[in-house]
Amino acid sequence: MGRLSDVIVRLRGRNYPLVTGLVARLGGREVFLPGEQVASWEAEGITLTSRRVNLGGFERREGEVLLRADVLGHRVIDVPAAEFVRAYDLVLERTSEGLVVTGLNTHRPRRLARLFGGGDGEHDRRDWRDWKSFEPLIGHARSARVRSVFGRLGRLKPADIADLLEEASRTESHEILQTVHSDPELEADVFEELEPDSQIRLLRERSDAEIAKVIARMRADDATDAVNELPQARRQPVLDALPARQRVKVLTLMGFNPSSAGGLMALDVLTAAPGITAAEALREAGGSRALQPEVLTTVYLIGDGDRLTGAVTLVDLLQADPAARLEQLADADPVRVVPDTDIEDVALLMTDYNLLTVPVVDDEERILGVITVDDVLEVIIPSDWRRRGHAPRPPGRPERESPASP
| Beta-sheet pairing, 83-86 with 271-272 | unpaired
Q: What is the DSSP letter of 172?
A: H
DSSP helix/strand/coil, 380? helix
CB 274 within 8 A of CB 330: yes
Average pLDDT over residues 19-43: 76
The yes-or-no verdict on residue 195 having pLDDT over 50 is: yes
- The pLDDT confidence band at residue 147, using thresholds 50, 70 and 90, is very low
The yes-or-no verdict on residue 149 having pLDDT over 50 is: no
- The pLDDT confidence band at residue 128, using thresholds 50, 70 and 90, is confident
The yes-or-no verdict on residue 209 having pLDDT over 90 is: yes
335-379 pLDDT tens trace: 999 999 999 999 999 999 999 999 999 999 999 999 999 989 888
Name the H helices within 205-356. 208-215, 220-229, 232-241, 244-254, 261-264, 278-286, 314-319, 326-329, 343-352
306-323 pLDDT tens trace: 899 999 999 999 999 999
Residue 100's contacts (CB-CB under 8 Å, 6 or more residues apart) are 15, 16, 17, 18, 19, 92, 93, 403
- The pLDDT confidence band at residue 108, using thresholds 50, 70 and 90, is confident
Dist CA 100 CA 6 (whole Å) = 14
- Provide the pLDDT for residue 129: 92
Dist CA 19 CA 395 (whole Å) = 31
Measured in whole angstroms, the distance separating CA 96 from the mean position of its chain's CA atoms is 35
Residue type at 290 in one-letter notation: A
Is pLDDT larger for residue 117 or for residue 64?
64
- Provide the pLDDT for residue 401: 43
Average pLDDT over residues 82-107: 91
The structural domains of the chain, ordered by start, are 3-131 (no CATH), 152-255 (1.25.60.10), 271-384 (3.10.580.10)
Dist CA 84 CA 76 (whole Å) = 6
Element (H, E) at 17: strand 15-26
- Compute how many other C-beta atoms are within 10 angstroms of the C-beta atom of residue 200: 17
- Provide the pLDDT for residue 403: 42
Dist CA 377 CA 356 (whole Å) = 11
The yes-or-no verdict on residue 152 having pLDDT over 50 is: yes
221-238 pLDDT tens trace: 999 999 999 999 999 999
Average pLDDT over residues 245-274: 95
| Beta-sheet pairing, 271-272 with 298-302 | parallel
Distances (CA, A) of 306 to 22, 43, 72, 366: 71, 79, 63, 6
- The pLDDT confidence band at residue 74, using thresholds 50, 70 and 90, is very high
Measured in whole angstroms, the distance separating CA 364 from the mean position of its chain's CA atoms is 41
Q: Is the dihedral of CA 112, 114, 119, 124 positive or negative?
A: positive
> Highest-confidence range of 145-159, 177-191, 370-384, by mean pLDDT?
177-191
17-26, 40-49, 85-94: least confidently modelled range: 40-49
CB 335 within 8 A of CB 347: no
Dist CA 234 CA 244 (whole Å) = 18
Residue type at 116 in one-letter notation: F
